Chains A and B, each alone.
Chain A
Amino acid sequence: MTETTPRKAIITGITGQDGSYLAELLLGKGYEVHGLIRRSSTFNTDRIDHIYQDPHVPHPRLFLHYSDLTDGSRLVTLLNEIQPHEVYNLAAQSHVRVSFDEPEYTGDVTGLGTIRLLEAIRALGLDTRFYQASSSEMFGATPPPQDENTPFYPRSPYGVAKLYSYWITRNYREAYGIFASNGVLFNHESPRRGDTFVTRKITRAVARIAAGQQTELFMGNLDSVRDWGYAPEYVEAMWLMLQHDTPGDFVVATNTAFTVKDFLQLSFEHAGLEWEKYVRFDERYLRPTEVDSLIGDASKARDVLGWTPTILTPRLAQIMVDADIKALELGGIRYVDSVQTQ
C-alpha cells in the first residue's frame, strides 16, 4: 500500500496571519486542512484566497466551514464530522487595544472559545492533538526575559483571556491526558499582519510615504520593548509541538529586544527615509495599561523541538517594507507574499 489517508487538521482562525501560513505549511506536507471561518457580510478570506480551490475540482484538500467559537454545539458537530488528527486553535479577538473596549467579547472568544473546543474533543472522545495559541501578553508586567517558568501578570483583557485558555489547556492535558500543548508565542509579524498592528502600520506607512502618498505617521508609545519574529517560522514551531512525543508548553521567541522606535528606524531606513521627519505622537494610540518589555527565552523549543528562528527583527522589517512597496505598486490588486527563508 502506497496510498495512505491524509492527516486531517482543523485550523480555527485560518483567515488570520498565522492561520494562512499554517494552512500553506500543512497543505505542503500533504494534510487535508479544514478551516473554520466566521460568517460575515464582507469576505474576510483575503489571506487564503490564493490557496483555496473550488470544492468541485477533484481531490480538494482545503475545506472551509462556517463556525464560530461562541457556538459550542456547532463545534461538536464539526469535530465529529471531520475527525481531525490535529486541531490548531488560532482564533481570537487578537487586538490588545480593542480588548479594553470589548472585554466581554474578548473573554467569550479568546477565553471561552478554547474550553468549548476542548470540551468538544473530550465529550466526543476524539484521539486528536490540540494546539493552543498562547501569547506573551500573558506575561504583561513580569520582567524579561520570560520563559516557561515565568509567572504571569497580564495587563490587558486580551492577556487575561489568553491566560484562561492557557490554564484550561493544561488542565485538560493533566486531568484527562489529552495531547494539548500551549505555544506561548511572542510577537510575530509578516506582510500579512493586520493593518492596525504596530509593525504593519509602520511598514505600510513607509511604503506610502516613499511613494509620496502620505506625509505623516501618528504613533503612540515608542519605547515599548518587543521581541518580533517572523510569523512563518512561528507556525512551523506550532506544527513541531504537535509532532513531538509528549505535549507541553513552549515559549516561541527570538530572544532579541527592539523598541518600537527601533522598528521605525529600521523600516524607514530600508526605504532611504529618516523616520523623525514623518512620525507624530498621538495619545489615542496609548493603551490604558501598557506592557513595557517582552523578550522571550525559547531555549526549550530549541532543545526539545529543534526549533530556531533565522529571521530577526532587522530583516523582518525589510521583508515587510518590501512587501508593502510591492503591494502599493500593484495598486488595487491583492499582493500575496511568499514565505522568505532568509
Chain B
Amino acid sequence: MEPIVKEEAQKEIDRFAGTPVYVHLETTNGAYASHFNAKAHNVGAFIRNANVTYEHGKIISTGGGYRVGLKLELGWVYAEGLTDYEVDEQNRLLMAGHDEQGRLMVALEISETPFAHEADHHE
C-alpha cells in the first residue's frame, strides 16, 4: 500500500459508482486492548461482501488522514482514519488506516467481485 493520493483515490471511487459492488468495511482496536489496559474496551466491527450500489462517493482530507463516504439509495457507507491505498491486481480499491506501528485500525475496500482472502485460492 501507498499513502493515499486524494485525486487518484477519488478517480478510483468514481470508477465504481452506479454499479453493484462488494464492500469490505472494518474497524478494530485489537483483541488485546483490554488485556493490556484494564480501562480500555475492545471495539471492532466488520462487514464483508456487502453488496451495494452507490450513487457517488467522496474522499475528504482531514490533515492526518482521510474520510470516505459512499451514498447509497437508502443509506451510507462511511470510514474515517484511512491513510493508505492500493489498486490490487484484481482491480479492487483497497484502503486502510494504519497506526504508527503499522497495525490496521480501519479498512474500506471496494470490488466488482466478491472478496476472498488470497490464501483461499491456493488451498
Chains A and B belong together in one complex: no
